[in-house]
Structure 1
Amino acid sequence: MIVGVIIGEFVPGVQPAFDTARFASVSAPIAAGLIVMMWPILTKVQYEALPRLLVTRKTLTHIALSVFLNWVVAPLVMLALAWATLPDLPGYRTGVIMVGIARCIAMVMVWNQLAGGDANYCAVLVVLNSVLQIALYSPYAVWFVNIMGGAGADIHVSYGNVAISVLIYLGIPLGAGLLTRALCLYLTSRDFFTNRFLPLISPLGPLGLLYTIVVLFAYQGHHIIHDIGPVFRVIVPLVLYFTIMWAGAFALVWWLGRRARGNGQWSYEMAVVQSFTAGSNNFELAIAVTIAVYGVGSEQALAATIGPLVEVPVLLALTWVALYLGRTLHWDRQSRVNPEELAGQDGGQRERLSEDTDEKRSSKSNHERVEETAV
Structure 2
Amino acid sequence: MNNENKKIGFFERYLTVWVAICIILGVAIGKFIPLIPETLSKFEYYNVSIPTAILIWLMIYPMMLKIDFKSILNATKKPKGLIITCTTNWLIKPFTMYAISSFFLYIVFKSFIPTDLAKEYLAGAVLLGAAPCTAMVFVWSYLTDGDPAYTLVQVAVNDLIILVAFAPIVGFLLGIGGITIPWNTLILSTVLFVVIPLLLGFITRNIVIKNKGMEYFNEVFLKKFNGITIIGLLLTLIIIFSFQGDRILNNPLHILLIAIPLTIQTFLIFFLAYLWAKAWKLPHNIASPAGMIGASNFFELSVAVAISLFGLRSGATLATVVGVLVEVPVMLMLVRISNNTISWFEKNSYERG
- TM, length-normalised to structure 2: 0.85
Gaps of 5+ in 1: 258-265, 338-375
Q: Indicate if the aligned counterparts of 1:14 and 1:219 stay in contact, CA closer than 8 A.
A: no
Deviates more, 1:32-41 or 1:317-326: 317-326
Aligned residue type for 1:70: N
Aligned to 1:231, the other structure's residue is in SS state: helix
Deviation at 1:297, TM superposition (A): 0.9
Instruction: Mark the CA change 1:36 to 1:96 in structure 2 (over 3 Å): closer, same or farther.
Output: same
Question: What amino acid is aligned across from residue 171 of structure 2 in structure 1?
Answer: V
Q: How does 1:150-299 map to 2 (within 5 A)?
A: 151=178, 155-257=179-281, 266-299=282-315
Separation in structure 2 between the aligned mates of residue 21 and residue 249 of structure 1, nearest angstrom = 42
Q: Which amino acid aligns with 2:68?
A: Q
Q: Which runs of 4+ in 1 moved over 6 A?
A: none
Name the % identity. 26
In structure 2, relative to structure 1, the CA distance for the partners of 1:122 and 1:308 (3 Å cut) is same
Residue 320 (structure 1) aligns with: 336
RMSD of aligned Cα (Å): 1.9
Q: CA deviation at 1:333?
A: 5.0
Q: Structure 2 CA distance, aligned partners of 1:281 and 1:208?
A: 18
- Measured in 2, the distance between the counterparts of 1:199 and 1:228 equals 37
Equivalent position to 2:160, from 131, 143, 149: 131
Q: Is the 8 A contact 2:64 2:198 kept in 1?
A: yes
1:231, distance to aligned residue in structure 2 (A)? 2.6
| Structure with more contact order per residue of length (Cα contacts < 8 Å, sep ≥ 6) | 2
Deviation at 1:178, TM superposition (A): 1.0
Map of 1:4-19 to 2, 5 A cutoff? Answer: 4-19=26-41
> How far has the Cα of 1:329 moved from its partner?
2.9
Of 115, 118, 127 in structure 2, the residue corresponding to residue 98 of structure 1 is 127
String of CA shifts for 1:185-218, please: whole Å, max 9, x gaps. Answer: 0110211111111122233323322221111112
Gap regions ≥5 residues in structure 2: 1-22, 107-114
CA shift, 1:24, in A, is: 4.4
What letter matches 1:331 in structure 2?
A: E
Residue deviations 1:140-160, cap 9 Å, x none?
Answer: 11111112x2x2xxx411333
The whole-number CA distance in structure 1 between the counterparts of 2:76 and 2:123 is 39
With over 3 angstroms needed to count, the CA separation of the structure-2 counterparts of 1:187 and 1:201, relative to structure 1, is same
Per-residue CA shift, 1:62-106, capped at 9, x if unaligned? 222221111111112111111111004111112112211122222
SS at match of 1:203: helix
Letter in 2 for 1:54: A
Q: Would the aligned equivalents of 2:62 and 2:225 in 1 still touch at CA under 8 Å?
A: yes
Question: Which secondary structure does the structure 1 equivalent of 2:134 belong to?
Answer: coil
Counterpart-to-counterpart distance in 2, 1:169 and 1:269: 31
Alignment correspondent of 1:32: 54
Which one of 34, 55, 66 corresponds to residue 85 of structure 2? Answer: 66
| Cα separation, 1, equivalents of 2:76 and 2:87 | 20
Q: Letter of the aligned partner of 1:249 in structure 2?
A: A
**3-state secondary structure, aligned to 1:196:** helix
Larger gyration radius, structure 1 or structure 2: 1
| Separation of aligned partners in 2, 1:334 and 1:44 | 29
Deviation of the 1:245 alpha carbon: 0.9
